[in-house]
Structure 1
Amino acid sequence: MDFIIVTGLSGAGKSRAVDALEDIGFYCVDNIPPKLIPVFYTLCEQAKPEMKRVAIVTDTRGGDMFSSLFETLDALRQEQKKYKILFLDCSSDVLIHRYKETRRRHPLSDSFEGSITQSIHYEREVLRPVKEAADYLIDTTFLSPAQLKNRISALFLESSDLSLLVNCVSFGFKYGLPNEADLVFDVRCLPNPFYVEELKNLTGLDEPVRSYVMKWEQTQGFLQRFLSLIDYMLPLYRSEGKSQLFVGIGCTGGKHRSVALAQLLYNHLLEKGQRASVHHRDIKK
């Protein structure tokens, strides 16, 4: 049975994530107190094969009951009940903007005299151990609802027991590092198409930009070592049981060099039969 525990910061997109999981065949239940999770797990086992893909949401809306989550997870492990944790994260600034835009109350705001900022800070600290234990981490700061749905589909459309998924993400350093990144590669050392007038307004998805980036000896040397390193590391991550690997490739603005190389890495992984996805975070900025 695929049993996914969805949690994370309030406003980070858990409801949209659950909608996406439901769309690909998961039976989903929202806001389950942690102490009820083992009981629900057992009921799902008894209902197989109808309940072979299940996702539940548990978070700080449960108040003091949420503090029993780790005790519950330990109990599941002792009973050899397999599960995965999906954690939804987001920057505090974006969360504040979302709450102001929707005019919804943060579930912890009563404890902080209505302060959204203090509520988010406290919740982030409470959830830190859960985030560190998560099997999957998705930062929705820069993701549209459609992009979040695509990310969920890439992770869970097939069995979560399958080999790890490699997420190839291009980004611009001027807009900040991707919070999910396991590995980050800086390609600002390579020749920049931005300074070529006819390439400036194109992106790394366009053939003229790709050709320009790839024609240099520096790029060829980097690419050879880069792909060799990734190929070497993937079996090591698999042997450790890692479910998701997030490879960030950054240039200055996230439109040219990083896009071309992230796309190239994605194609290379697919050719080798590796599950992979690609996302160009800052290409439209």
Structure 2
Amino acid sequence: MNGPPRKPRLLLVTGMSGAGKSTVLDALEDMGWDIVDNLPADLLGDFVHGSDQCRTVPVAIGMDVRSRGFDPSHLRELIESIEGVEPEILFLDCSSADLMRRFDKTRRRHPLAPDRPAEDGIARERAALAPLRLAADSVIDTTDLTPAELGEELRRRFRTDREPVLTVVSFGFGHGISRTADLVFDMRFLANPHWIDELRPLTGNDRQVRDYIANDPAWAGAMDRIEALLTDWIPRYWTAGKSYLTIAFGCTGGRHRSVTAAVEMAERLRSAGFTPNVRHRDLGSAPNDRIEDRGGDAAVAGSRSELNR
């Protein structure tokens, strides 16, 4: 027996200036959403329903500190007051350092600091938007995302079938921890292929690297335990209403162990009936002995190199 038809979605796209709001709205428009940017708050209800009061197409509204009537502490209440839609808030965030680079590159002035350095405006905006970030249904940090990767993330999250989105990510701690992860597994206890000359230029997508890591006595047991944990927890997240779950595997440089673990776990989860997406954040980074040293792997490189002999 089919339930009542779903209400169309009302997505409020907001967040830090320069974090990618225009890119998000363009991507949603390409997916068939009705969109409008910088709509005054008092016109929100009129735009959502128009004259017929019977909306069927999802709608995305871009609002930020430049929008007339923008009040971060009352936006949740405002969108929930609109009948006939399912409201949600998407907050776009980005590191302050990257935002400053973006403003410098585009030569635009920050809306909260027209006559002061962009850094001052970013700090003021981050403090003002803190309540809205906490109230958001989902947060996307665009610091490490290219426009193409952001578009892919949006398609996963806002496709029409609305299935829960499961993503498996690899990253390198030496480049900063994953900003989007819900669960993080640190794989730096495994043998590091970086210290094997013939494996250093390869990645976890290469069979030689995967075979080397699989020879570590800790590998199989660790992956079995992580798989058991995830296959138990993932359905519980869906039952609890979580729409997006990101599982991250980290190593030092983000090229070998984390990639191998992400690929292997995605394969295991598919076999278990899940449909994970896979993203390798730092796969394109160059091998770097200094980063690996900071991870503490150099000290044990000699003993670990014996694993494959």
Task: Normalising by structure 2, report the TM-score.
Answer: 0.83
The alpha-carbon deviation at position 116 of structure 1 amounts to 0.8
Q: Describe the superposition over 1:201-230 as per-residue Cα deviations: whole angstroms up to 9, x where unpaired.
A: 011111211222223231111100111111
Give the Cα separation in 1 of the matches to 2:24 and 2:271.
29
Q: 245-254 or 210-219, which moves further after superposition?
A: 210-219
User: Which residue identity is paired with 2:129?
Assistant: L
The alpha-carbon deviation at position 93 of structure 1 amounts to 0.4
Give the Cα separation in 2 of the matches to 1:22 and 1:195.
47
Q: 36-45 or 21-30, which moves further after superposition?
A: 36-45
What does residue 54 of structure 1 align with? 59
Whichever of the two has the greater Rg, that structure is 2
What does residue 130 of structure 2 align with? 128
The alpha-carbon deviation at position 64 of structure 1 amounts to 4.9
1:15 counterpart = 2:22: yes
What does residue 43 of structure 1 align with? 50
Give the Cα separation in 1 of the matches to 2:145 and 2:169.
12
1:72 counterpart = 2:81: no
1:148 is paired with a residue of what secondary structure?
A: helix
1:217 counterpart = 2:224: no
Q: 1:270 to 1:26 in 2, by over 3 A?
A: farther
Give the Cα separation in 1 of the matches to 2:25 and 2:175.
28
The alpha-carbon deviation at position 88 of structure 1 amounts to 1.2
Structure 2 unaligned blocks of 5 or more: 1-7, 286-309
Kept in 2: contact 1:188–1:250 (CA 8 A):
yes
User: Which residue identity is paired with 1:280?
Assistant: H
CA RMSD of aligned residues (A): 2.0
Q: 1:266 to 1:18 in 2, by over 3 A?
A: farther
2:67 is paired with a residue of what secondary structure?
A: helix
Q: 1:229 to 1:34 in 2, by over 3 A?
A: farther
Kept in 2: contact 1:35–1:69 (CA 8 A):
no
Q: 1:129 to 1:225 in 2, by over 3 A?
A: same
Q: 1:214 to 1:95 in 2, by over 3 A?
A: same
What does residue 190 of structure 1 align with? 190
| Higher RCO structure (Cα 8 Å, ≥6 apart) | 1
The alpha-carbon deviation at position 146 of structure 1 amounts to 1.1
Kept in 2: contact 1:204–1:256 (CA 8 A):
yes
Q: Describe the superposition over 1:55-87 as per-residue Cα deviations: whole angstroms up to 9, x where unpaired.
A: 1111111255334413303424xx473122222
User: Which residue identity is paired with 1:183?
Assistant: L
Q: 28-37 or 265-274, which moves further after superposition?
A: 265-274
Give the Cα separation in 1 of the matches to 2:19 and 2:277.
21
The alpha-carbon deviation at position 268 of structure 1 amounts to 2.8
What does residue 92 of structure 1 align with? 96
Give the Cα separation in 2 of the matches to 1:4 and 1:65.
16
1:276 counterpart = 2:276: yes
Give the Cα separation in 1 of the matches to 2:53 and 2:81.
18
Q: 1:80 to 1:157 in 2, by over 3 A?
A: closer
What does residue 263 of structure 2 align with? 263
The alpha-carbon deviation at position 181 of structure 1 amounts to 1.9
Q: 1:83 aligns with which of 84, 87, 91?
A: 87
Q: Describe the superposition over 1:157-177 as per-residue Cα deviations: whole angstroms up to 9, x where unpaired.
A: 2333x3x21221111111111
Give the Cα separation in 2 of the matches to 1:114 and 1:158.
43
User: Which residue identity is paired with 1:140?
Assistant: T
Give the Cα separation in 2 of the matches to 1:126 and 1:165.
30
User: Which residue identity is paired with 2:53?
Assistant: Q
Structure 1 unaligned blocks of 5 or more: none
Q: Describe the superposition over 1:105-148 as per-residue Cα deviations: whole angstroms up to 9, x where unpaired.
A: 111113xx322111111111222222222222211111111111
What does residue 149 of structure 1 align with? 151
Q: 1:101 aligns with which of 94, 98, 105?
A: 105
Q: Which has the higher helix share?
A: 1
Kept in 2: contact 1:32–1:57 (CA 8 A):
yes
Task: Normalising by structure 1, report the TM-score.
Answer: 0.90
Q: Describe the superposition over 1:26-54 as per-residue Cα deviations: whole angstroms up to 9, x where unpaired.
A: 221111233332333333983544xx222
Spell out structure 1 runs of 4+ moving beyond 6 A: none
